[in-house]
Structure 1
Amino acid sequence: MLKKFKNWYQQLFQIQDTKFQDVLDIKNHEVHIQNVAYFLAKAQFTDIPEMLGIERAVYGGKTPWDSAAFASELRHETDRLYLVLRRHDRLLAFIGCTFNDVKSDAHITNIAVVPDYQNRGLGHFLIAVMIKKARQLELKQVSLEVRLSNVRAQSLYQSLGFEKAGIKKGYYFGDHEDAVDMVIAIGDSDNGES
């Protein structure tokens, strides 16, 4: 009896792992955002220096995540997806997301767009891709945290259907700024492309 249960349990998780691998596997390809061509790719270890550069540009010279944190995330290919957008071989934006079948949640861990390409739909596009992936995995929600002071980002997330779900006091390292928890419940409709 125990052997049958063990086999069933292993098969169940093998099927789940295969499903995650299939959905999270992205082929690098050209995408069009507001009639401009970009190259969408799965983030690689060689992208980390440019990702850190984007963080510095966005966060006033600071890098909330270091190269070791990005490298650790990129190693977890079974439940994480990091994407980059390039134009003329320049990395302009990236997003990271953790997909948790147990919690039925896709959690956006990191997103940044270089300042001179903000307000061009890149962040909207990347979030929509992650929402689509979460739907394909039949998860119930997509969640994220955003700085309380980052009203522009909150507005972007709300335009995609995210709602404020709470406040995490002193969440951010260093300045201890509060974070706004935001969540979107997802159903069957399709909100992005990959």
Structure 2
Amino acid sequence: MLKRFKEYFQKITSNRNQHREKVLTVDNHIVEVAGTRYYLSQALITDVPEMLAIERAVYAGKTPWDENAFKTELRRQSGRFYIVMRHEDRLLAFCGCAFDDRRHDAHITNIAVHPDVQGRGLGHFMMKTMIDRAVELDYQTVSLEVRYSNTTAQRMYTNLGFEKTGIKKRYYFGDHEDAIDMTYRLAPKANE
């Protein structure tokens, strides 16, 4: 009896891991956002220099994450999902998320859209992609931190359904700006 239970448990665990792996990958493909076609793909180590360039463009020459932080995240074998969006072979936006099975939370670790294309729906599209992945995994929440001064991002997150759930005092390295915690609560999946 114990042997059959172990076999059953292994099969369930294997199926769950295969499903999770499938959900946390993306086939490179073209997507249309607000009438423009973009190439969506999973982020690679070779994308890091362009990701840093976007951060410099967004954050007045600074990079909140350095090269090693990005590379460490992209090398993780489990629980991380990073996507990039290109137009005419130029990387314009990226988003990363940490998927925590224990807490059933998908935490947005980083998102940036080049200033040249902000306001065209790329941030919204990437956030929706992460929310959809969390739904597929039957998670309870999607969470993030956002700078207190970044009212544009806060507005986008609120429009997506995120709620302000707290403040982290002096959260950001360098300028010690406060961060607002925001959470999107996912409805439980209907039984299939």
Task: Give the 3 Å change call, closer, same or farther, for CA 114–10 of structure 1 in structure 2.
Answer: same
Q: How does 1:34-73 map to 2 (within 5 A)?
A: 34-73=34-73
Displacement of 1:25 = 1.8
Which residue in the other structure is 1:137 paired with? 137
Asked if structure 1 preserves the Cα contact closer than 8 Å seen for 2:40 and 2:84, the reply is yes
**What amino acid is aligned across from residue 47 of structure 1 in structure 2?**
D
Displacement of 1:70 = 0.5
Displacement of 1:16 = 2.9
Q: Distance in 2 between matches of 1:45 and 1:180?
A: 29
Displacement of 1:13 = 4.0
Asked if structure 2 preserves the Cα contact closer than 8 Å seen for 1:17 and 1:78, the reply is no
Q: Given the alignment of the two structures, is residue 180 of structure 1 paired with residue 180 of structure 2, yes or no?
A: yes
- Which whole-Å deviations, capped at 9, do the CAs of 1:45-64 have from their partners, x for residues lacking one? 10000000000000010011
Q: Distance in 2 between matches of 1:9 and 1:2?
A: 10
TM-score using structure 1 length: 0.91
- Which whole-Å deviations, capped at 9, do the CAs of 1:94-146 have from their partners, x for residues lacking one? 00001111101000000000001000000000000000000000001100000
Identity, % of aligned positions? 55
Structure 2 portions without partners, runs of 5+: none
Task: Give the 3 Å change call, closer, same or farther, for CA 91–12 of structure 1 in structure 2.
Answer: same
CA RMSD of superposed structures (Å): 1.9
Q: State the secondary structure of the residue aligned to 2:142.
A: strand
Say which is worse superposed, 99-108 or 5-14, in terms of deviation: 5-14
Q: Distance in 2 between matches of 1:188 and 1:125?
A: 22
Size of the alignment, in residue pairs?
Answer: 189
TM-score using structure 2 length: 0.92
Asked if structure 2 preserves the Cα contact closer than 8 Å seen for 1:97 and 1:108, the reply is yes
Q: Distance in 2 between matches of 1:31 and 1:188?
A: 28
Q: Given the alignment of the two structures, is residue 112 of structure 1 paired with residue 77 of structure 2, yes or no?
A: no
Task: Give the 3 Å change call, closer, same or farther, for CA 35–188 of structure 1 in structure 2.
Answer: farther
Q: Distance in 1 between matches of 2:101 and 2:4?
A: 23
**What amino acid is aligned across from residue 106 of structure 2 in structure 1?**
A
Which residue in the other structure is 1:192 paired with? none
Q: State the secondary structure of the residue aligned to 2:172.
A: coil
Structure 1 portions without partners, runs of 5+: 190-194
Asked if structure 2 preserves the Cα contact closer than 8 Å seen for 1:113 and 1:123, the reply is yes
Q: Distance in 1 between matches of 2:3 and 2:51?
A: 47
Displacement of 1:7 = 6.2
**What amino acid is aligned across from residue 109 of structure 2 in structure 1?**
T
Q: Given the alignment of the two structures, is residue 92 of structure 1 paired with residue 86 of structure 2, yes or no?
A: no
Q: Distance in 2 between matches of 1:91 and 1:160?
A: 24
Say which is worse superposed, 42-51 or 169-178, in terms of deviation: 169-178
